[in-house]
Amino acid sequence: MKTSAERPEECTTMEEVRRGVDATDQALMDLLATRFGYMRAAARIKPDRGHVRDEARKRAVIEAVSRRAEQDGLPKAAIAELWDGLVEASIAYEFEHWDELRS
């Protein structure tokens, strides 16, 4: 990730830290826009509304990010909770678009 701030370990001022956080937040928003674009694609592709919620897939996604969090030394439980919210928001968004496409 390229930012106007130093890498976290190189920051020496709060201004640098905040610049890095702001740049990271913008990058995350770009990634979320892409992720939600995939939800629109899923809504278009799935033939049955009952296929929108897939608990096995949700579990697999959360387990994968939990493993990654643990490997990266991040707070595993907090990351799992964030992803649970993200996946639930994605499912709701997909339902909304599935219904819109077929109304």
Q: Which residues are annotated as a binding site?
A: 18, 35, 46, 94
As annotated, the binding site for substrate includes 18, 35, 46, 94
Alpha carbons within 13 A on the beta-carbon side of 25: 6
Which helix (H) or strand (E) segment holds residue 22: the answer is helix 14-45
Q: Which residue from 45, 56, 60 is spatially nearest to 94, judged by alpha carbons?
A: 45
Query: Please, are residues 11 and 17 in contact by the beta-carbon 8 Å criterion?
Result: yes
